[in-house]
Amino acid sequence: MQQSVELAGIGKGFGAFDVLKNIDLSVRPGEFLSLVGMSGCGKSTLLRIIAGLERPDRGSVAIGGSDVTELDPSARNLAMVFQSYALYPHMSVRQNIATPLRMRRLSLAGRLPLVGALAASAEVLHDIDKSVEQAAETLQISHLLDRKPAQLSGGQRQRVALARALVRSPAAFLMDEPLSNLDAKLRAHMRNELAALHCRLGATFIYVTHDQIEAMTMSDRIALMNEGQIEQLGTPSQLYEHPATLTVARFIGTPSINLVPVEVLSNGSVSLFGHVLGLAAGGHDAGPATLGVRAEHISIGSEGLPLRVLRTETHGADRFVHAHLLADETLRVTLRLTAGEPLAADTADVIQVSFPPERAHLFGRDGVRLAALPTDRVAA
């Protein structure tokens, strides 16, 4: 259950459109790796290429060190959990979970209905039964074994799909947005269960999602994809604290990162609407750039950048203050205050905010991160 998955130079096009452009990715044995990105970024196609359901135009796939690029899906010993769960509708839960094992261990004659029971060895059948019960126990669905998928709730179907994946002890688990058909509460619950399952099995998980919270909460590493390329690969905190590009910064984090246009001056200092910030851009390219600051790094003070408050949102443990720049109404800024922090401002009041310069992210015109060093002064 612990195998590495290596992708080298994977390329895939549909017609004239390149869905994947030269993807290199190496998934370590036992790792929980998420592929995240907007819909259409190629993450599902990449997963399907790993599964063997799609052939890449270029590049190779290796599992556990051996090249499987030319192998059929069933020969790769991978298990996949689909968004719709893809349970066999006419089979009971027990038969559904047993199917991967029956396909592997029984001959064609043994799989036939009725006569199959005569052709298959009793020992193998007993073995399969035992594995099925074990998998069902792991996912706490033993009491559902004799039902049909149509009689189950979404969460229960999800568990059956997981049990069906689990029962074959695959080299790696592939999951294609498995939680997106569940309601919000169940999704949070299943997130914990999946993470716990990963811990218990120690298996390699490759998990596709468009939901950055799922990726952030469960993964060891995240590969953020955009337009057929991996934009950044790293741990959740690396992506959050050091986004490599504007796309990554925008995608990761709730509420979204605050982005404002700034000007890099010829001496390297950064100016926001004529207001010079305590930052120096590492690159020497003067010109427009984008400044990003996370909501929790902005604090209200007696001096700094003036904002007008639009509304406050209470979330229990913390509050979000939505405001816009006094200099430009279209530029929205969100602040995150803990519940204890007082807010001496009402809607339409003007507040002044600042942020520690080492928490600022600076992105060049092409969206790539620029080194930004704090100068002595406290920023804005």
Partner 1 sequence: MARIRRFLPHLVLGAGAFIVVLPFYWMFLTSIRSPAEIFDVSLWPIPKQFDMAQNYGRAASQVPMLRFMLNGLIVCLGILIVQVATAVPAAYALAKLNFPGRKLLLTLVIAALCVPIQALALPLFVGLAKLDLLNTYFAMMAPFFLSVFAIFLFHQSFRSYPDEIIEAARMDGFSEMEICWSLVLRGSLPSLAAFSVFSVVAHWNDLYWPMIVVTDINLAPPPLGMLFFSDVESGANYGALMAGAALITAPMIVCFLLARRHFIAGITMTGVK
Name the site residues for partner 1 (rule: CB under 8 A): 51-53, 72-74, 78-80, 82-84, 86-90, 99-100, 103-104, 111
Q: Which residue's CB is nearer to partner 1, number 103 or number 196?
A: 103
Starting at the edge strand found earlier in the chain, the sheet holding 17-27 runs 17-27, 5-14, 58-63, 66-67
**Shortest distance, position 165 Cβ to partner 1, whole Å:** 9
The CA distance from 262 to 158, in Å, is: 47
Instruction: Select 80 or 372, whichever has its Cβ closest to partner 1.
Output: 80
- The secondary structure element, H or E, covering residue 374 is strand 372-374
Shortest distance, CB of residue 278 to partner 1, whole angstroms? 53
Q: In the bound complex, what is the minimum distance in angstroms from residue 89's beta carbon to partner 1?
A: 7
User: Smaller CB distance to partner 1: residue 12 or 361?
Assistant: 12
| Residue found under tokens 């592997």 | 104
Q: How far is the CB of 60 from partner 1 (least distance, A)?
A: 20
Contact 335, 295 (CB under 8 A): yes
Q: Per DSSP, what are the bridge partners of residue 275?
A: 272
Rounded Cα distance between 7 and 327, Å, is 48
**Residue 306: cis peptide before it, omega within 30 degrees of 0:** no
In the complex, minimum distance from the CB of residue 33 to partner 1, in angstroms, rounded to a whole number: 19
CA 350 to CA 167: how far, in whole Å? 60
Q: Which is nearer to partner 1, 86 or 378 (CB)?
A: 86
Pick the closer one to partner 1 by CB: 33 or 81: 81
In whole angstroms, how close is the CB of 306 to partner 1 at the nearest point?
53
Is the CB of 89 or the CB of 316 nearer to partner 1? 89
Please, what is the minimum distance in Å from the beta carbon of residue 118 to partner 1? 18
**In this structure, is the dihedral angle defined by the CA atoms of residues 151, 157, 161 and 163, taken in order, positive or negative?**
negative
CB of 100 to partner 1, least distance (A): 5
Which amino acid type is present at position 111? Answer: R
287, 268 in Cβ contact below 8 A? no
Q: In what order do the strands lie in the sheet with 318-325?
A: 299-301, 350-354, 305-314, 318-325, 332-338
Cα 163–Cα 164–Cα 170 angle in degrees, nearest 5: 100
Q: Toward partner 1, which CB reaches closer, 10 or 87? A: 87
Of 104 and 126, the one with the shorter C-beta distance to partner 1 is: 104
Task: Identify residue 306 by its one-letter amino acid code.
Answer: P
The DSSP bridge partners found for residue 353 are 300, 305
243 contacts 343 by C-beta, under 8 angstroms: no
